Structure 1
Amino acid sequence: MNEAAPSPFAEQALPPWRRAVLKIGSSLLAADGGGLSPRFALGLAQFVSANLLAGREVVIVSSGAVAAGRAILPRAAEAGAAIAARQALAALGQAQLIALWQRFFERPVAQVLLTHDDLRNRRRYLNARATLNELLALGALPVVNENDTVSVDELKLGDNDNLAAIVAALVDADALFIATDIDGLYTADPRRDPQARPINEVTELTAEVLAMAGGSGSAAGTGGMHTKLQAAAKAGAAGIDTCLFNGRSGEVVRALAQGRLRGTRLHAGRSRIAARKYWLRHAPLEPGAIVVDGGAARALREKGASLLPGGIAAVQGEFRRGDMIEVRDGGGCIAHGISQYSAVDVRRIAGSHSRTIEATLGYNYGENVIHRDDLVLLS
């Protein structure tokens, strides 16, 4: 990795974290002349490995499929319209991208392809979250990329920065690390303004801070500093700090593995738990509701329990899996939560034991109708 020009950013301690998302852009993976290079990927993989050995969990969001595909068929882009050609290149390069990451790790690497539509649709969102959490529980390393072979608007945006922020919220990460090809956020573009000064910390993403961001810094990448600040805003709304750093600097990446950041830390506005509970409390509700018995109501209030089918007394209205609904007892609404099952399904399993769900429905989304992480109590 590059050892020239030490970082102008002051060293600071990383925020404590148990689970993080690491976003790596094309500019760190693209080889000169096309294809993928392990030059900078190796150091980032060592950072991931060090944290996995320490008992932490990491999800990688990696660009680079289009660059890899271009090396396989360099003339493919001339064959058709720009979007279709790039989609074809992404399809060709995706296997190469996963192979690059697998070579660095003894544990299995899992490919997860998402579009923004997958994450806007609540049912698909829940399915994606369940898959990623299961992969982490199994000890696999998820490598997420946008599904460029089918996306259109998202591909034109090259928006893996924002995708990484959404994935960070999806898996309840504590931190979002964005590896870029410059040292961090400056007061202006340092490649054009010699007076640009490094910004070590941002406590609030104001319009003034956003105005400091420039465009894309390389031919391989399509996301500039502005999309990184947008991603930090999304992550911050979920209570997740974002750290920007130079993924080309071996010194910076080695320090990161030791818990020290030489880059820009963008602070979340509130804690992760507080942000999620705020969202659960204020998100729009569907008209349906689940009515629970006294025992279930006490378990929710006093023990912070999940809602199991055995404590359900009735179902009101209609709702779908993934909808935000009310939870009621005899006195009225006591909580808001995201239902793992539709109203039709909840009616069929109400009052029964969790172990009978699959026998009753023919499928199983888990033993909880509403998981405690998807539920907020109302005082």
Structure 2
Amino acid sequence: MNDAAPSPFAEQILPPWRRAVLKVGSSLLAADGGGLTPRFALGLAQFVSANLLAGREVVIVSSGAVAAGRAIVPRAAEAGAAIAARQALAALGQAQLATLWQRFFERPVAQVLLTHDDLRNRRRYLNARATLKELLALGALPVVNENDTVSVDELKLGDNDNLAAIVAALVDADALFIATDIDGLYTADPRRDPRARPVEDVRELSEAVMAMAGGSGSAVGTGGMHTKLQAAAKAGAAGIDTYLFNGRSGEVVRALAQGRLYGTRVHAGRSRIAARKYWLRHAPVEPGAIVVDAGAARALRENGASLLPGGVTAAEGDFRRGDMVEVRMHGGDGMQCIARGISQYSAVDVRRIAGCHSRVIEATLGYNYGGSVVHRDDLVLLP
């Protein structure tokens, strides 16, 4: 990795974090002439390993499949190839990309291919989140990429920056690290304007800040600084800070592993927990509700517990798995809404498991989405 010049950005101390997403773009992985190179990936892998050894969790969002495919079938490598040709290159390159990351780690690397549609659909969103969290619990290292072999609009955008922000919210990350091929955000494009100055701390993504971002500076990458700031805005809405840094600088990456940032920090507007609770409180609810007994209501209010099927007495309406619904109980003045949250089961399923112990869910339904009807991370209490 290049250590020739120190970063023009001043040192910042990273806040503590428990789980993070690291986005790595094609410009850091693509070799000259096609294919992939470990040149810069090695240092980033060492950053990941250092944090895993410290007990933290990391999810990698990695571009590079199309670049890898170009080395396998060079004749299809022309820039501007038809979408189908690029999709074929992505299919050829995905295995190469997963292999590149696996070579750096003793723990298993899990390839997870997603599209934005997977994350917009609430049921698929829940399935993706459950899979990623289970992989982390198993000690695996998830490597996420867009499923470029089937997506069209996403492939044309090539925007893994925004995908990384969505994944950060998906896994309840505390930080989003975006490795790029420049030092961070500048007041203008430093490659074209010698008067450009580093912007080390962004408290608000105003129009003036967004105007500082230029286009893509790489022949293999398709996301410029503008998409990185868009991603930071998405992450910030979920209460997640974003850190932009130069993934080509060994000095910068080693410092990052020691909790020191030479780059740009984009602050979230509110804390991650506050952002999540705000969304849960104000997102539209589906018609219907889950009705609970007094014991379950007390456990939710006093113990911060998840809603288990044993405390459920009924399900109203016809909601589906992944829908936002109200949680109600009978009170002195009739039915009272005490909470709202995302149901792990449909109304039909909730009726079948109401009053049952969590351990009999699979025997009753023939499948199991977890032991809770509404997990505490997906639930907010109401006054």
Same fold (TM over 0.5): yes
| 1:47–1:257 contact (8 Å) kept in structure 2 | yes
1:52 paired residue number? 52
Q: Which runs of 5+ in 2 are unaligned?
A: none
Secondary structure, in 3 states, of the residue corresponding to 1:197? coil
CA distance in 2, matches of 1:144, 1:315: 36
Q: Does 1:264 pair with 2:264?
A: yes
Instruction: Tell me the matched-pair count.
Output: 379
* Cα deviation 1:121-154 (Å, max 9, x = unaligned): 1000000000000000000000000000000001
Given residue 16 of structure 2, which amino acid in structure 1 is its aligned partner?
A: P
Q: Does 1:130 pair with 2:130?
A: yes
1:377 paired residue number? 381
- Taking the TM superposition and a 5 Å limit, the aligned residue runs for 1:185-196 are 185-196=185-196
Secondary structure, in 3 states, of the residue corresponding to 1:356? helix
| 1:314–1:347 contact (8 Å) kept in structure 2 | yes
2:31 paired residue number? 31
- Taking the TM superposition and a 5 Å limit, the aligned residue runs for 1:347-366 are 347-366=351-370
| 1:79–1:85 contact (8 Å) kept in structure 2 | no
Q: CA deviation at 1:4?
A: 1.8
CA distance in 2, matches of 1:49, 1:202: 28
Q: CA deviation at 1:82?
A: 1.2
For residue 340 of structure 1, the aligned residue among 338, 344, 357 is 344
Q: State TM-score, norm by structure 2.
A: 0.98
CA 1:227–1:78 in structure 2 vs 1: closer, same or farther (change >3 Å)? closer
Identity rate of aligned residues, in percent?
A: 89
Given residue 348 of structure 2, which amino acid in structure 1 is its aligned partner?
A: V
CA 1:78–1:248 in structure 2 vs 1: closer, same or farther (change >3 Å)? closer
Given residue 100 of structure 2, which amino acid in structure 1 is its aligned partner?
A: L
* Cα deviation 1:40-79 (Å, max 9, x = unaligned): 0000000000000000000000000000000000112469
CA distance in 2, matches of 1:184, 1:56: 24
Secondary structure, in 3 states, of the residue corresponding to 1:262? strand
- Taking the TM superposition and a 5 Å limit, the aligned residue runs for 1:130-279 are 130-279=130-279
CA distance in 2, matches of 1:84, 1:77: 12
CA distance in 2, matches of 1:115, 1:152: 10
2:291 paired residue number? 291
Given residue 368 of structure 1, which amino acid in structure 2 is its aligned partner?
A: S
Secondary structure, in 3 states, of the residue corresponding to 1:48? helix
Q: Which runs of 5+ in 1 are unaligned?
A: none
| Superposed structure 1 runs of 4+ greater than 2 Å apart | 76-81
CA 1:170–1:342 in structure 2 vs 1: closer, same or farther (change >3 Å)? same
Q: State TM-score, norm by structure 1.
A: 0.99
2:320 paired residue number? 320
CA distance in 1, matches of 2:379, 2:299: 13
CA distance in 1, matches of 2:325, 2:256: 42
Q: CA deviation at 1:5?
A: 2.1
Given residue 343 of structure 1, which amino acid in structure 2 is its aligned partner?
A: A
Secondary structure, in 3 states, of the residue corresponding to 1:275? helix
